[in-house]
Structure formats: structure tokens, C-alpha cells
Structure 1
């Protein structure tokens, strides 16, 4: 069986170009996103992930939305004396050619008043909105509750 090397090279080159253009389309990569499963009677949850910015300019994540909660907000955690408190932030800056890790005890997406329990194994749709008007729709898997934020007090001042 003969293989036409020129045809094979063309297919390989085409595949590489399509992969590169798909990656370069938005220049953002979302690594290991997950939402915390909710224990019985819990009304809030959080989403974590690493967002990589492969662009030459910084990006500002300004809002998030999902149909599984009444509100979704960008938050960070600040230490006030001996107490860790969550605070809503207006944006999360993604540095050019850098990344930001949304993780327990730091930046994260807060889901307020979830409409139904979040169960391990299900997925939830999330829309991220950037300052330039771009939006990204991602699907986030729900995982078991992980440690890290259980002792933090939540600031009830939601805007």
C-alpha cells in the first residue's frame, strides 16, 4: 500500500493550522474548572480554575453568569486581623502572557442562592464576560466539596 506523502503532509499542515487558529481565536485557556458540590441545605457554592491569557495585552474579567444560581459574582479573600473574609471585586485582571488561578482562599467565582443542589458528576453552564465585551461560554463539572474555604467568614454585603 502506497501512501502519498504530499497528501499526508497537506492533511497534517491543515490540522496544525486549524488547531493554531482555534487556539489563537480568543487567546484564553481555561484549565481544570470545577464547581463545588453543595452539602444538604447549602445555598452557596464556588467555581475555581486557572485562566491563561496568551494574548499580548491584559484582559479584565468583569462578570460571570449561570442559570443555576440567582447570582454569580467575582470574589477574593482578604485577611482582616485573624479573620479571612470574602469580598466581591469588580474585575479580575489577567496579565498579558500570564495566568490567574481562581482557587480557595483567593480569587474565585461565588454562586449565590443556587436553585438546586450541585451534585458531583453534573456539569453547569457558565458565561464569562470581559471588559471589551467578549464572552466565553464554558461547561464546568461539579466535584466533591474540597477543603480550603470552610473556616472563612462570608461578607454579607452583596452589591
Structure 2
């Protein structure tokens, strides 16, 4: 093995180890997805994202083949007191040693142009992309009957 090959192998191993360690700092709890029903064109996913690392991280993007578009959204109240959903391009900070809840009426993952209806009991594959931790894949269970906010309430 040449010196260049050894160096590239060492760099690749170091990059893999760094990514693996970073991904271990992010955990996802109490995830679920829902839509308004079988004819809904949109749906949303909610969860609590924990960061056990020593540095803040940021959820910058979500991806899924379940919809034509997937965005990070939040609800903002306008001057008339009307709540409107808006795309949060900069994503959500996940504080070091803390958590950030994606919950109904607040921050969430938005699925627009559903490929198929969200059916109760099915799962939605989602890849969450973090600034430091990289990609974290999760199968989010669809729960169309859930009424309480569980761990998502403050």
C-alpha cells in the first residue's frame, strides 16, 4: 500500500469515526406523524430531539420520499392574531446537553404533496440532516388518533 493510499485510508477512517461519534450525540424520542385524513395533501411529523453533545447542533433539513417537498416549519402569529405556518430555512438549534421539541402548533417537519395517504399504524421514512451530526434516519410511526402532546408539551 502506497503512502498516499495509507493516508487516504486513515483520513477516511477518521472521518467515519467523527461522523459516528457525532451521530451518537443526537437521539430522537416520541416521534409520530399525522395528516388530516386519507385525502390530505400534507402531513407533519413531531418528536423530541435530544443533543447529549457538548456543542449546539442544528437540524438544517429533513428529507423523505413520502412527499414531493419536505420542509422545516413553524407557526408564527401575525398582527391580527392569526397563526400561519412558515418555512424555517435556517433550521432549529438543538442546544448542547438539551432538547428541542417539534410539536403541534410549533416547530415541525412538514410534508407537502404526499405521495400516498398517511395511514394509521404505517411508518414514514425520514432523514433528518444536522449541521454537525450529519444524517439521522428514522421511521416515524403514523398516529392519526393521538390527541395528547405526550413529551411534546411544555
- CA separation in 2, counterparts of 1:30 and 1:140? 10
Instruction: Give the CA RMSD over aligned residues.
Output: 2.1
Q: Corresponding residue for 2:76? A: 78
**CA pair 54-119 structure 1, distance change in 2 beyond 3 A:** same
- Mapping of 1:89-128 within 5 angstroms? 89-90=88-89, 91-128=91-128
TM-score (ref. length: structure 2)? 0.76
Q: Judge conservation of contact 1:37–1:145 (CA < 8 Å) in 2.
A: no
Q: Judge conservation of contact 1:27–1:53 (CA < 8 Å) in 2.
A: yes
Structure 1: which 4+ aligned runs deviate by more than 4 Å? 22-25, 145-148
Instruction: Give a deviation string over 1:76-122, Cα, whole Å, max 9, x none.
Output: 11111220000100211001111000001110000000011110000
Q: For residue 132 of structure 2, give the secondary structure of its aligned residue in structure 1.
A: coil
How many residue pairs are counted as aligned between the two chains? Answer: 127
Specify every segment of 5 or more residues in structure 2 that has no aligned partner in the other structure, as ranges.
1-19, 149-154
Q: CA deviation at 1:24?
A: 7.8
Specify every segment of 5 or more residues in structure 1 that has no aligned partner in the other structure, as ranges.
1-21, 149-159
- CA separation in 2, counterparts of 1:89 and 1:25? 23
- CA separation in 2, counterparts of 1:50 and 1:33? 7
**2:67 maps to which of 66, 69, 73:** 69
TM-score (ref. length: structure 1)? 0.74
More deviation in 126-135 or 67-76? 126-135
Q: Judge conservation of contact 1:76–1:88 (CA < 8 Å) in 2.
A: yes
Q: Corresponding residue for 1:52? A: 50
Q: CA deviation at 1:130?
A: 1.2
Question: Quick check: which has more Rg, 1 or 2?
Answer: 1
